Amino acid sequence: MDSLILHVLAWPTLGVALLVFGFAPGAVLRLIILLYQRENPRRRELLGELYSVPRIERPFWVAEQLETALFEGLHDRMTSWRARRAPEDAEMASRQLYSNRRSPAWTWGEVVLACDLVFRKGWRPIAADSPQVIRLSEQLQRMNIHPVESRSPQFRNPNAVARMGVDIATAHPDYLGRRTNGSHLAREVLSAFLANPREMHALAESIGGRTGRRINWARRRRRRLDGSTKDYSAA
Amino acid sequence: MRKTHALVQVAMALMADAGGRHWGYELSKQSGVRSGVMYPTLQRMLEEGWLSDGWEAQVRDGGGGRPQRRYYELTDKGRSALGALIAEAHRDARFSAVVAGQPTRGLA
C-alpha cells in the first residue's frame, strides 16, 4: 500500500496526471476545433464549454469532440471545398470542351462564297470588320451545312471568314507578299476561279441566292403571319 | 426533423426549464445524451428555429478570463414543437423507455 502511495506521488506520475488532466485537454481541443470552419460557432462554444467540464472528465469529453469534429467539421469543410471547386471545375471542363472542339472544315460551297468575295474585291485581303465579311459570316452561320452541335463558338465568325479570304488572296499568283498556309481546298477553289471566273461567280451567286431565297422566304412568311395576326385582331 | 431517442431526451431536458437558459455541457448531463450527439442535435434545433442562442457576458471576477460560453433558449415555436414532440413520444411505444426514465441524470 505504501509503495502504491509512493508510486502515485512520484514526480513522473504527477507529471503525467498534470498533462492528461491539466494541459493536454485544452491543447488537444484547440487542435480539434481547427477541423471546423473558421466561421463555425462550435469552435468558440467548445472552448467555452471545456471549463464547465470537471477536470477528471475533460480527457474523455475532448475525445468525444474529436469524433464529432471528424464527422461534422471535416464533412462541412469538404462540402464547402467541393462547392467552391464546382464552378471552377465546370468552367474548366467547358473551356476544355470548347478548346478541344474545332469548327468543322470548310466545304467546297463555303470556300466558293469566300473566294467570290475576294474576287469581287480585286483579289485583295478583306478586314474582318468590313460589312461584306460580316454579311458573309452571318450567311455561312445561317446555312445548315454543318449541324449546330458540331460547331464551335467561333464557327465562321468574321475573323474566320477574313482568315479564309487572306488564305485565298495570298495564294493568288499575282500576290507579292508573304503567303499564308492556306488549305488545299482554298487553292483548289482559287484555281477554279482563275480558270473560269464567270462560271464560278455564277456558282457563288447561285449558292448565295439559294440561302438568300430561303431567308427571304422565311422573312416573307413571318411578315405574312404577322400581317394575318394584325388583320385578325383588327377584325 | 427525424424523431430520435436523443432528440426526445434533449427535448425533455429543455422543456424541464422551458423559459431558462441552457448550457451545452449541463444539458448533456441532464438529458443523458453524450456531447458528441447533443451538439449536432442542438444545431439542428437552431436551424429549425426551435432555439435561439447567445453568448454569456464576459466573466471577469472569478472567471479567470475563461472563454465565454454559448447558451440556448427555447423560442415560442420551439416550445410548441417540442411539446408536441414529447406528447407524440408518450404515445409512441418506441420511446416508452426514454419517456419513462427521468431525463435528469448526472447534473440536475
**Residue range B17-73, pLDDT digits in tens:** 999 999 999 999 999 998 888 898 998 899 889 999 999 887 655 556 778 899 999
Give the closest residue to B8 by CA, choosing from B90, B86, B100: B86
Q: Tell me which of A45, A46, A57, A70 to substitute to probe the interface with B (most B C-beta atoms closer than 10 Å).
A: A45
Q: Pick the last residue of a domain from A45, A66, A100.
A: A100
Question: A45: which chain B residues are within 8 Å (Cβ-Cβ)?
Answer: 24, 39, 69-70
Question: Given an 8 Å threshold on Cβ–Cβ distance, is B70 in contact with A61?
Answer: no
- Among B23, B40, B43, select the one facing A52 at the smallest CB separation: B23
- Among A44, A64, A72, select the one facing B67 at the smallest CB separation: A44
Among chain B residues, the shortest Cα distance to A65 is held by B36
Among chain B residues, the shortest Cα distance to A61 is held by B35
- Among A48, A65, A68, select the one facing B67 at the smallest CB separation: A48
Our count of domains for chain A comes to 2
Neighbours of A34 (CB within 10 A): 13
Question: Given an 8 Å threshold on Cβ–Cβ distance, is B35 in contact with A65?
Answer: yes
A208 and A160 part of one domain: yes
pLDDT in the model for residue A214: 53
A117 and A176 part of one domain: yes
Strand ordering across the sheet containing B51-55: B22-23, B70-74, B51-55
A29 and A123 part of one domain: no
Each residue of B67-77: b (16+ CB within 10 Å) or e? bbbbbbebbee
> What element of type H or E holds B55?
strand B51-55
Question: Given an 8 Å threshold on Cβ–Cβ distance, is A49 in contact with B24?
Answer: yes
pLDDT in the model for residue B59: 62
Question: B43: which chain A residues are within 8 Å (Cβ-Cβ)?
Answer: 42
Neighbours of A215 (CB within 10 A): 14
Amino acid at A1: M
Q: Which residues are B70's β-sheet partners? A: B55
pLDDT in the model for residue B93: 84
Residue A9 vs residues A4, A59, A154, B101: alpha-carbon distances, Å: 9, 21, 82, 42
Containing structural domain, residue A44: 2-100
Cβ within 8 Å of residue B26, ≥6 positions away: A52, B107
**pTM as predicted:** 0.51
pLDDT class for B107, splitting at 50, 70, 90? Answer: very low
> Looking up cell 498556309, which residue turns up?
A181
How close A83 comes to chain B (CA, Å)? 20
Cα(A100)–Cα(A191) distance, rounded to whole angstroms?
A: 32
A10 and A80 part of one domain: yes
> Do residues A123 and A172 touch, judged by C-beta distance below 8 A?
yes
ipTM score above 0.90: no
Q: Tell me which of B28, B39, B46 to substitute to probe the interface with A (most A C-beta atoms closer than 10 Å).
A: B39
pLDDT in the model for residue A192: 92
**A48 at the B interface (CB within 8 A)?**
yes
A199 and A146 part of one domain: yes
Length of chain B: 108
User: Taking 50 as the threshold, does the pLDDT of residue B14 lie above it?
Assistant: yes
Residue A59 vs residues A23, A54, A68, B23, B36: alpha-carbon distances, Å: 10, 10, 15, 20, 14
Question: Given an 8 Å threshold on Cβ–Cβ distance, is A52 in contact with B36?
Answer: no
**A64 at the B interface (CB within 8 A)?**
yes
Residue B39 vs residues A63, A144, A235, B46: alpha-carbon distances, Å: 14, 63, 72, 10
Percentages of chain A per state (helix, strand, coil), in multiples of 5: 75, 0, 25
pLDDT along chain A (235 residues), means of 10: 68 74 83 87 89 88 88 81 69 60 84 91 85 90 83 87 90 84 88 90 83 52 50 35
A114 and A84 part of one domain: no
A22 and A132 part of one domain: no
How close B91 comes to chain A (CA, Å)? 31
A124 and A207 part of one domain: yes
> Do residues B35 and B108 touch, judged by C-beta distance below 8 A?
no
pLDDT in the model for residue A78: 82
> Looking up cell 476545433, which residue turns up?
A33
Give the closest residue to B72 by CA, choosing from A48, A59, A35: A48
- Distance from chain centroid for Cα B9: 8
Question: Given an 8 Å threshold on Cβ–Cβ distance, is A42 in contact with B66?
Answer: no
> What element of type H or E holds B53?
strand B51-55
Domains of chain B (ranges; CATH) run 5-57+65-98 (1.10.10.10)
Cα(B30)–Cα(B106) distance, rounded to whole angstroms?
A: 6
Q: Pick the last residue of a domain from A100, A124, A149.
A: A100
CA neighbours closer than 13 Å in the CB half-sphere of residue A27: 7
Cα(A216)–Cα(A210) distance, rounded to whole angstroms?
A: 10
**B69 at the A interface (CB within 8 A)?**
yes
> Do residues A150 and A128 touch, judged by C-beta distance below 8 A?
no
A74 and A154 part of one domain: no
| Residue B107: DSSP 8-state | -
Cα(A189)–Cα(A107) distance, rounded to whole angstroms?
A: 10
Q: Which residues are B74's β-sheet partners? A: B51
Question: A53: which chain B residues are within 8 Å (Cβ-Cβ)?
Answer: 25
Range B81-85 average pLDDT: 92
Question: Given an 8 Å threshold on Cβ–Cβ distance, is B70 in contact with A72?
Answer: no
Range B64-91 average pLDDT: 89
